[in-house]
Structure formats: C-alpha cells, structure tokens
Structure 1
Amino acid sequence: MGADAAPSLAGRLRPFVEKGQLAGAVALVVDREKVLSVDAVSFADVARRKPMKSDALFWIASQTKPMTAVAVMMLVDEGKVALDDAVDKYLPEFRGQMVVAEKNGDHTVLRRPGHPITVREVLCHTSGMPFQSPLETPTHDTLALASLVRSYAMIPLQTEPGTHYQYSSAGINIAGRIVEVVSGMPYEDFMRRRLFDPLGMKDTTFWPTESQTRRLAKAYRPDAGGVALKEMPIAQLAYPLSDRTHRFPIPAGGLFSTARDTARFCQMLLNGGQSNGRRLLSEKSFVELTRRQTPASVKENYGLCLALGPDGFGHGGALATGMDIRPGPGIATIWMVQHAGFPGDGGKAQGVFRDWALERHGKPVAR
C-alpha cells in the first residue's frame, strides 16, 4: 500500500479510544526539516469531553533526561567538563562516598569503591546510585537542586561503579547540578538560554503558567478493576504546578512540553546536533550521546540518557510519553499521552502509531 493510501492514524487508534483504553493523544512525526504529520486524538479531559488539541501540554517526565545530557555535553564541548572526571571534582560533597559490600536485615557493611563515580557513569545509569533519595517523598520537586544532590552524597552506592545498570534519576539530577556549578547559573536558566530558546521550545518549562495549565492534558490510570480510565493528579509533583517558590526543577524528570516543542529537540538530534544551521553540539559529543555507554556485561543498551535500539534511539516518560529518533529514514516520532498504565491493550497504541509513521513516512532518505 502506498503512503498516500495508508489508513489514517486516527483510524488506527480509534479502537483504543472506543474501548476506553486510551484517553487521548497527540502524535507527531517530523523529518530533519519539517513536521510531516500531527494528529490530536480523542480527549484532553474525558469527563468534560474537552477535545485533545495539537498544542496540548504534557508532563514529559524522564524525557527531561536526554535534554539534561545535552546540556552536560555542551559543557564538555567547551572543555569545562570531562565525561571521565570524577563527580567529586565538581561536587566535593561526594568525596569519600562508599559502596555497599554486604547487606542483610541486621546490618550493612560498606567499603570504598574501586573508583569514585564519574560524570559518564551518572549519565548512563552505571554509577551505582539508587533511583532516588528518601527525601523525595511524597513528591520529587520540593527540594532545591543543591540540597537534593547533597542528600545523594550521604547515600552509599548500591553497586560498584561502572559494573551494573541501575536506572537512577538521582544520577541525572547530579548531572544537572554539575551544569549549575560549572556554568555559574541556575540549571533551569542554562536550559532556557542554551537549549530551549535556541530551539524555539517556547512551551517547555518546569513551571506551567496559568494559560499553559489550561492546555494541560489530564492524567489517567486504570481503575481498581483495570477495565476503565480513572482521572488522577500527577502524584510525583507538588501543586500548584506554577509555584516557583516551593517547587524546584528536576533535571531527571521535571519538564512539561508540547509535541511540537519536543519535536524541535528531536530534530536537533536527527541533524547530528544542529538546528537551523547552528551547531549546538559538536559531532564528537553527538556521537558520545548516541553510542553504547553501558558495559558489554549488561543487557541494557544505553547511551548518555538515551535508550538505544537497532534502528535509532529515544526515551520515554513516566506517563507513557515517548520520542523515537530514526536516523536511517530520517524521521522522529513524538507520542504524547498522560497515562500511568492502561486498561486492556491501551499500551499498544504507541507501537501502532510508530508502525504507522514508519509505513507512511519511513522511506530512507539520502543525506
């Protein structure tokens, strides 16, 4: 079937909507230069029957991580950070950090690790840091970044650095703090000035304004029976979301964005670190981002805050958002939903979208 004759995406996703397995979605496809398609499906607010629109705002959660990694690599390009430097070169509170040698119900034995954790290791989840600090409850965003990262320095490593893959938001928050210390500006200011503004990501923020909040898609989870959708708050974040006094940026997962804004970031990656003829990352740094960083001894294939596959790379978020960059055909897919789980087969909708995008837009292109 030719691309023009391919069934519409709305038609492909309709069964998930009709069965109550998908509240709503924005699905966008770009190539290196332009938007190829954008579909807004079903509802941003099911109870109020508010239609999903293409400019809807979403909490993109861990899709913040690769954006933080790009910020670190900008400083690498400037010679201000080296990936194999010890974290404690920039954050002295990590000097003397220990690793768990033995642990049972009665006691924990600590020892010195073979080497201090490195910048590379925190960016590829092999530092041995736990997922988060005990202080990140009930929400993740009520401690200033400097205070949050100091709490990590008091926690022993769970595994020897560089030997195991253990997904760690703490590690990426450490990387964000390094950006702050080395650049001499707040992490969120660096992200705005060096990444979001140059890319035109005007709707990407840690603090949605009142007008942006009106465009925020509601979040859903399966009900107790697992057969219907139940509206929910974003449990990981404190409300009101616009509160800049008591809420703080999370380098590992705090951003809100739109499909079009996230697409601009993906296009920069599709173009090897360039946007509109301006290079944001050197070719060397782009290669570091997108090559395997995890050791051959672990099954996880991970770059610097990017999950790697045979045909490309990308990252997802806690509420099932996703971006998938395919350099071969020269396209990226951006999937925006707000789901903490799905009734029935709702979780398969993103794969249906990705397959449709590759079918319709995925012909290899010459560079």
Structure 2
Amino acid sequence: MKLRVLVAILLLAAARPVLAQQGSLAAAVVPFVEKQSLAGAVMLVSDKQRDLAIETAGFADIANRKPMRADTLFWIASQSKPITAAALMILVDEGKVRLDDPVEKFLPEFKGQMVVAEKDKDRILLKSPARQATVRDCLNHTSGMPFKSALEEPTLDALSLATGVRGHALTPLEAEPGSRYRYSNAGINTAGRIVEVVSGMPFEVFLDKRLLRPLGMTDTTFWPAEARVARLALSYRPDAAKTGLQATPIIQLRYPLSDKSRGAMPAGGLFATAADCSRFCRMILNGGVHEGGRILSEESVKALTTRQTPSSMQESYGLGFAVGPDTAGHGGAHATSMNIIFKTGRITVWMVQHAGFPADGAQARGAFEKAAALVK
C-alpha cells in the first residue's frame, strides 16, 4: 500500500509541471486533468485586436506523456459549420447566391424532391412539399433533410461531396422546408456543394483561397499531412469502469487522416488549432474585417450571427452558428467549442478531444469560461 501511494505521488509530481505551469485558465482546468476526467485542453481568450491568453493543461497523449501545446491540432467536427457558412456568404456578398434561392436553382438534382407525408412500418407516403428548400434553410437546419444520408457509411467522409449531396437529393425530406428544426449535416454539406458549383472550384480550394488563407488560418485543413498529424491530440472517452480515460479513434472518419480520397465534409471535416479558430472568430467580431481587409460584409456577418430560425421554434440558430441574445458560436462532436460574446467583445476557444464526454466535461468547460471572464 505504501509503495502504491509513493508511486502515485511520484507520478503526480512528474506530471504537475506539465499540468500547472501556466496561468489562471490552466489552473481552473488542472483539477479535472488530475482526476482523469479530462486528458488536456488548449484554452484561448481574445478580444477584437489580439489573443489575450492562450494556455494549455494536461496531455495530448496520456500514455506517452505528451503535453498539450498551443499549436496542438484538433478535429473540430461540427465547429466547421460556421466556417462553411461564412464561405457561402462570400458568394452572397458577390451577388452570386441569395439566401432565399431554392437549392434546385444551383443543384438541379433536387428538382422534384418529395417530402414524407405519412410513414409507418409498412409504407411511406410521399407528397410534393409546399415549397422547395432554400439556401437559408440548409444553413439553419430547417431544410427538412435528415442528419445524414444512408450512403454515408461506414464513415461520414466515405463519399465525395458531390456524390454525398446527390444522395441527399434522392432522399425524401423528413419535414416541410422551414417548418421544423432538425440538426442536419446533409443541409450544411449541400450548402458546401452549392459553393463548389457556383464558384467552379472544389469546396476545399474555394475555402482555402477565399477564407482560410486571407485569415492566416494556416493549420486548418480537411486532410492534415503527417507533420500536422504528429501535432494532433488523441481522442479519449471514459473507460469501462468510468474511473479514467481510454484513447479512441475518431470513428466518424477514415484513416489515414492525410488521405485525400476521404471526402471533404463541410459540415464537420475540418482540423484546426485554437489560434486559427480565434482568427476566424475575430473576423466575425470585427464585422467581417481582418487586419484591415474586408472578408465579409457587415450584413452577412449579421445574418450569420443572428437568429434565422422562426420564433415559433425553440432552437435559436443563425447561419451555421448557434446563437443567443448576444452570442454566437459552435461546438464539435469531440467537445471543442468557440464562442463570440458581442457585448464584451470577447472570444473564447476551448479545445479538447473527448468522445462521450462525462458530466465533468461541462464542469471543466464551465471552469474555463469562468476564468476566461476574468482575463484582462
């Protein structure tokens, strides 16, 4: 028993310089690392001009004692959605797309798409919808499309964007467009496909040329090369006993992650660093301007970050952004998040890699957000 306690003390002593060598953000999160409910985190606070603090806690790889670093890479999953929506709004600003244009204007395979009128275990009755789904519907999850296509198996990146979206066109809508909120990767991916068709470029090329590169988001990609994979934080989930963590692959994606035959998935395929996410959010916070250059119009930023779902719906969603009275942001499947607080002019970025996050996950992020509010 004494030997076991001594070993535990020595291990904790060895880890502590990695866990708590920084400031108030790291200090707020270290207790969750020490009790093994969180592997590690990169935390960032920014204002309109600059990053005010970027701190790390814990490990990107627990088994190899590899610490989190400021430039650690993360799969941001659905945190990709606001970035995709911003890319499409560039085309709106150029007058090439209107938010209330029907999807079929750009993607003729959607012409004649039907909606489910009745459904039971033996039959499905289809009918023509009262109206066709629009670009706006795709970006605010009211298109009537399902979460994903049945063709997107075994992983979400199994198909090219064009093929995947063709599958959405062949799938009946689950609800009348504009009548119901249903969180939908299919809708966001369809918006990404519209970017391809209108711009004449593959989505990832347009995204890089018109948004990522101008913002200096040099680590953001659908396909991290091996050098970036070396910086990727491992994903973790609670172990069987619920007393610790075990490493887990990203089951939604196909390996190797650098393989460009994996489909670019606008709804959730991006990898990024905390600093890159901050650059994107800072452009939004500055009304579409980055370092003196305009990326988006103020009107487009307002559309992205204010409620676009009908007031009759409980869900408050902009275009690619989850929105509150004075906030806009998004999270990802492995618990990353970025949040813009317009009233205070602040941005918070919380980067972790956890699948099946336990209850402590919300507590850890809450501790970070509380500490972030005090950063000067």
- In structure 1, how many angstroms separate the alpha carbons of the residues matched to 2:369 and 2:155? 32
Supply the AA of the counterpart residue of 2:315: E
- In structure 2, how many angstroms separate the alpha carbons of the residues matched to 1:14 and 1:339? 16
Cα distance, 1:248 vs. partner?
1.7
Equivalent residues in 2 for 1:138-157, closer than 5 Å: 138-157=154-173
Match of 2:225 in 1: 209
Secondary structure of 2:302 counterpart: helix
Q: Please tell me whether the aligned partners of residues 130 and 168 of structure 1 are also in contact (alpha carbons under 8 angstroms).
A: yes
Match of 1:112 in 2: 128
Q: Please tell me whether the aligned partners of residues 21 and 343 of structure 1 are also in contact (alpha carbons under 8 angstroms).
A: yes
Cα distance, 1:17 vs. partner?
0.8
Which of 80, 84, 102 is the aligned partner of 2:100?
84
The reply on whether 1:191 has 2:207 as its aligned counterpart is: yes
Q: Please tell me whether the aligned partners of residues 59 and 67 of structure 2 are also in contact (alpha carbons under 8 angstroms).
A: yes
Match of 2:279 in 1: 264
Cα distance, 1:344 vs. partner?
5.0
- In structure 1, how many angstroms separate the alpha carbons of the residues matched to 2:226 and 2:340? 32
Match of 2:178 in 1: 162
Which of 68, 82, 85 is the aligned partner of 1:52?
68
The reply on whether 1:13 has 2:13 as its aligned counterpart is: no
- In structure 2, how many angstroms separate the alpha carbons of the residues matched to 1:346 and 1:173? 28
Q: Please tell me whether the aligned partners of residues 229 and 342 of structure 1 are also in contact (alpha carbons under 8 angstroms).
A: no
- In structure 2, how many angstroms separate the alpha carbons of the residues matched to 1:212 and 1:161? 40
- In structure 2, how many angstroms separate the alpha carbons of the residues matched to 1:243 and 1:10? 34
Q: Please tell me whether the aligned partners of residues 335 and 357 of structure 2 are also in contact (alpha carbons under 8 angstroms).
A: no
Equivalent residues in 2 for 1:238-317, closer than 5 Å: 238-244=254-260, 246-317=261-332
Match of 2:12 in 1: none
- In structure 1, how many angstroms separate the alpha carbons of the residues matched to 2:178 and 2:361? 36
- In structure 1, how many angstroms separate the alpha carbons of the residues matched to 2:135 and 2:184? 13
Secondary structure of 2:126 counterpart: strand
Secondary structure of 2:247 counterpart: strand
Gaps of 5+ in 2: 1-22
Gaps of 5+ in 1: 1-6, 362-367
Identity of aligned residues (%): 60
Q: Tell me how many residue pairs correspond in the alignment.
A: 354
Secondary structure of 2:268 counterpart: coil
Which of 38, 41, 48 is the aligned partner of 2:54?
38
Cα distance, 1:343 vs. partner?
3.9
- In structure 2, how many angstroms separate the alpha carbons of the residues matched to 1:131 and 1:348? 28
- In structure 2, how many angstroms separate the alpha carbons of the residues matched to 1:163 and 1:354? 34
Supply the AA of the counterpart residue of 2:269: G
Q: Deviations over 1:189-240 (max 9, x none)?
A: 0000000000000000011011100000000011223332110000000000
- In structure 1, how many angstroms separate the alpha carbons of the residues matched to 2:281 and 2:129? 37
Secondary structure of 2:356 counterpart: coil
The reply on whether 1:124 has 2:146 as its aligned counterpart is: no
- In structure 2, how many angstroms separate the alpha carbons of the residues matched to 1:64 and 1:135? 21
- In structure 1, how many angstroms separate the alpha carbons of the residues matched to 2:215 and 2:286? 12
- In structure 2, how many angstroms separate the alpha carbons of the residues matched to 1:227 and 1:309? 35
Match of 1:349 in 2: 364
**CA RMSD for the aligned pairs?**
1.0
Equivalent residues in 2 for 1:221-240, closer than 5 Å: 221-240=237-256
Cα distance, 1:58 vs. partner?
0.2
Q: Please tell me whether the aligned partners of residues 141 and 247 of structure 1 are also in contact (alpha carbons under 8 angstroms).
A: yes
Supply the AA of the counterpart residue of 1:294: T
Cα distance, 1:346 vs. partner?
3.1
Q: Please tell me whether the aligned partners of residues 62 and 252 of structure 1 are also in contact (alpha carbons under 8 angstroms).
A: yes
Q: Please tell me whether the aligned partners of residues 147 and 186 of structure 2 are also in contact (alpha carbons under 8 angstroms).
A: yes
- In structure 1, how many angstroms separate the alpha carbons of the residues matched to 2:119 and 2:158? 30
Q: Please tell me whether the aligned partners of residues 65 and 253 of structure 1 are also in contact (alpha carbons under 8 angstroms).
A: yes
Cα distance, 1:69 vs. partner?
0.4
Supply the AA of the counterpart residue of 1:173: N
Secondary structure of 1:21 counterpart: coil
Supply the AA of the counterpart residue of 2:317: Y
Cα distance, 1:145 vs. partner?
0.7
